[in-house]
């Protein structure tokens, strides 16, 4: 019997260790008119920017219990915390950084949780993406923000997988050098300053003669 795929002498089977995703699901959370306290002095303040960190699961909040009558599934309860960094400018023009966290997100969901040996460790993880739903506004010494967060919950575990490998990775390209501050050196290097394509004037198409 002939193999479906021809034999490739450069192909081999290798084993790698990866974090496999056994289950994932998505949810959305919103925080309307959440208040962030600003300094009591130095106002009025002007909002500049806000950056959100990826959410984290508080380890002590995780409770996973089997669901009776539903094999391979479990109830997962945990708390997600999303923190942020706000930049505001005071009346003197000084940039002030304030850190804080959104209200805790309490999760109570059903997850796929296959049975396994006691030595195998499952990892409950979250990924978040948070953004302002409306422009932030300053009222006195309070910054008011309305935030929407996408939350992806995952159950993962490290496993050994066998995959096809085609020899080594190809040779990487050369690094791009950041332009130097020595224009003469750059000009003398033909790789950095190629010969101009418009050095000679254009010719009349089909004649080979120079346009006067």
Domain segments of the chain: what residues? 11-166
Residue 1 has pLDDT above 70, yes or no: no
Least confident of 17-31, 45-59, 109-123, 185-199: 185-199
Per residue in 185-208, pLDDT (tens digit) is: 777 878 878 888 887 787 777 665
Residue 178 has pLDDT above 50, yes or no: yes
How far is it, in rounded angstroms, from Cα 190 to Cα 180? 14
What contacts 181, CB < 8 A, 6 or more positions away? none
Q: Where are the beta strands (DSSP E) in 38-141?
A: 46-52, 56-57, 63-66, 73-81, 83-89, 95-101, 105-112, 123-139
Instruction: Name the pTM for this structure.
Output: 0.74
Structure tokens at 104: 């805790």
How far is it, in rounded angstroms, from Cα 178 to Cα 5? 45
Phi-psi bin for 207: left (phi > 0), alpha (psi -120 to 50), beta?
alpha
Predicted local distance difference test score (pLDDT) of residue 166: 76
The three-class DSSP label of residue 185 is helix
Predicted local distance difference test score (pLDDT) of residue 73: 94
């Amino acid at each position: 019997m002939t193999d479906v795929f021809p034999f490739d002498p450069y192909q081999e089977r290798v084993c790698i260790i990866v974090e496999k995703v056994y289950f994932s699901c998505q949810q959305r959370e919103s925080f309307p008119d959440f208040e962030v306290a600003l300094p009591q002095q130095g106002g009025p303040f002007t909002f500049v920017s806000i950056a959100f960190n990826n959410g984290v699961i508080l380890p002590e909040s995780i409770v996973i219990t089997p669901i009776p009558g539903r094999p391979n599934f479990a109830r997962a309860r945990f708390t997600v915390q999303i923190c942020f960094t706000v930049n505001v400018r005071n009346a003197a023009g000084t940039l002030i950084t304030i850190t804080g966290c959104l209200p805790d997100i309490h999760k109570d969901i059903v997850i796929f949780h296959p049975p396994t040996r006691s030595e195998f460790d499952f990892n409950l993880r979250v990924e978040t993406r948070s953004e302002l739903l409306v422009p932030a506004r300053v009222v006195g010494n309070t910054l008011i923000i309305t935030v929407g967060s996408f939350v992806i919950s995952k159950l993962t575990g490290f496993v050994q997988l066998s995959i096809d490998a085609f020899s080594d990775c190809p040779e990487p390209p050369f690094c791009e050098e950041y332009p130097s501050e020595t224009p003469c050196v750059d000009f003398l290097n033909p790789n950095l300053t190629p010969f101009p394509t418009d050095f000679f004037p254009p010719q009349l198409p089909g004649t080979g003669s120079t346009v006067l």
